[in-house]
């Protein structure tokens, strides 16, 4: 066998070609040529016309390249372009203010500020939960302006291809902030969450975001649609680009998609027991954390108030009144516990 290998190699060298002594075991085969496959299907597949084949190929190609490539149909845009930006506000025990953002668009900072002023008129909230789950939008200027509401000192916030936006000396919302995200938090909403964390004013809880915070260019197509192609990522204040893999939260809390939708509709809803999806849980025990220098949850737990563990203090605030419904949403519940715990720690230090 060795002699045959030596002879074959020698013959190959004589005719001016090379034969590798061993082929890499993990080298994947080259992908088929797109045009070759397309032409063969068009020629031989029964009961398929050119229009159907073209539509299928386009959908598959765009889907495979998503979210960096997408189709935008101007004819199917919502009739009400002035849809609400803040869709829900509430005040939880603590007290903790809650503001749900539906879309990041022009005027969002004003909507958040008005919601905060209304919630804080007769109360002094110890913190604010900004819920960006299922929020989208492509207005990165609006994201920077919303982040500016919470950043006290002058510093860079976001760059979406038009130069770095900085925080201003405007009136600020000066309370601890928890930001909720999930896999449907997309584009400018992702940038808003990341900018708040980068500035050191917000803790992110939930699940990894969609990974669609990119600077894109639209190209008109003959059928009236536009092909949106991402060119470069949106940059944070430190110059780092937002990843196409999404924003990883500081505290990860995995919830099945069905439960997440149910809790989002009603945070107090007690869901029936069900088999959890692989890697998912609807309990706080299944959450994991990523260490951050600010708003460190572990440090809060180690604190003591009058010699009692912080966990006992938190439990007392929720269980003291049996008539009050308990928050069942794991992500929101964790955020409320964090903000109330931070408030207790600060009160003992004052």
pLDDT band at 74 (very low <50, low <70, confident <90, very high): low
Question: Could you give the angle at which helices 34-44 and 50-65 cross, rounded to 10 degrees?
Answer: 150
Q: Is the pLDDT of residue 40 over 70?
A: yes
Judge whether residue 150 has pLDDT over 90. Answer: yes
Give, as one character, the DSSP assignment of residue 292.
-
- Does 258 map to a domain? yes
pLDDT digits (tens, 9 = 90+) for 240-285: 999 989 999 999 999 999 999 999 999 999 887 554 444 444 433 3
* Position with higher pLDDT, 192 vs 7: 192
pLDDT recorded at residue 82: 56
For residue 37, tell me if it sits in a domain.
Answer: no
Tokens in use for 173? 């919302």
Domain of residue 166, CATH code = 3.90.226.10
pLDDT at position 1 is 42
pLDDT tens digits for range 60-73: 999 998 878 888 87
| Residue 34 maps to a domain | no
Which pLDDT does position 323 carry in this prediction? 65
The pLDDT assigned to 47 comes to 85
β-sheet bridge partners, residue 303: none
What confidence tens digit (pLDDT) does each residue in 6-24 have? Answer: 334 433 433 344 444 455 5
Mean pLDDT for the chain overall:
81
Identify the residue whose tokens are 């372009």: 81
Q: Spell out where the chain has E strands.
A: 69-72, 86-92, 96-101, 127-131, 156-159, 165-166, 177-181, 202-206, 214-220, 226-233, 235-236, 251-252, 288-289, 304-305, 308-309
Does some domain include residue 145?
Answer: yes
Mean pLDDT to the nearest integer, 125-141: 96
Q: Which residue has the higher pLDDT, 114 or 296?
A: 114
Phi, psi angles (nearest 5°) of residue 174: -105, 65
The answer to the question of residue 21 being in a domain is no
Count of structural domains, the chain:
1
* pTM of full prediction above 0.85: no
Judge whether 67 lies within some domain. Answer: no
Confidence of residue 158 (pLDDT cuts 50, 70, 90): very high
**Shortest CA distance to 167 belongs to which of 182, 186, 183, 145?**
145
Domain that holds residue 283: 86-215+231-349
């Amino acid at each position: 066998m060795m002699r045959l290998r030596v002879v074959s190699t020698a013959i190959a060298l004589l005719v001016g070609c090379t034969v590798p002594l061993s082929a890499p075991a993990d080298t994947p085969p080259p992908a088929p040529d797109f045009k070759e496959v397309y032409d063969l299907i068009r020629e031989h597949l029964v009961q398929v016309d050119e229009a159907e084949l073209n539509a299928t190929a386009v959908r598959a190609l765009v889907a495979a390249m998503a979210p960096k490539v997408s189709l935008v149909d101007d004819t199917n845009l919502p009739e009400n372009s002035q849809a609400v930006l803040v869709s829900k506000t509430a005040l939880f025990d603590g007290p903790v203010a809650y503001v749900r953002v539906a879309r990041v668009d022009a005027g969002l900072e004003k909507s958040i500020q008005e919601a905060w002023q209304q919630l804080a008129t007769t109360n002094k909230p110890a913190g604010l939960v900004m819920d960006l789950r299922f929020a989208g939008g492509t207005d990165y200027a609006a994201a920077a302006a919303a982040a500016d509401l919470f950043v006290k000192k002058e510093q860079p916030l976001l760059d979406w291809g038009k130069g770095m936006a900085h925080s201003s000396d405007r009136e600020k919302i000066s309370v601890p902030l928890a930001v909720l995200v999930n896999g449907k938090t997309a584009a400018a909403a992702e940038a808003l969450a990341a900018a708040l964390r980068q500035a050191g004013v917000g803790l992110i809880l939930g699940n990894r975001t969609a990974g669609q915070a990119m600077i894109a260019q639209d190209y008109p197509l003959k059928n009236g649609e536009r092909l949106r192609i991402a060119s470069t990522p949106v940059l944070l204040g430190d110059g780092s680009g937002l990843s196409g893999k999404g924003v990883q939260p500081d505290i990860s809390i995995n919830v099945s998609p069905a439960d997440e939708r149910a809790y989002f509709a009603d945070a107090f809803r007690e869901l029936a027991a069900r088999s959890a999806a692989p890697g998912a849980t609807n309990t706080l025990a299944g959450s994991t954390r990523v260490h951050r220098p600010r708003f460190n949850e572990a440090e809060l737990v180690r604190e003591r108030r009058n010699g009692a563990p912080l966990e006992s203090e938190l439990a007392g605030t929720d269980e003291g009144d049996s008539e009050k419904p308990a928050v069942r949403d794991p992500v929101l519940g964790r955020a409320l516990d964090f903000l109330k715990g931070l408030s207790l720690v600060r009160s003992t230090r004052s």
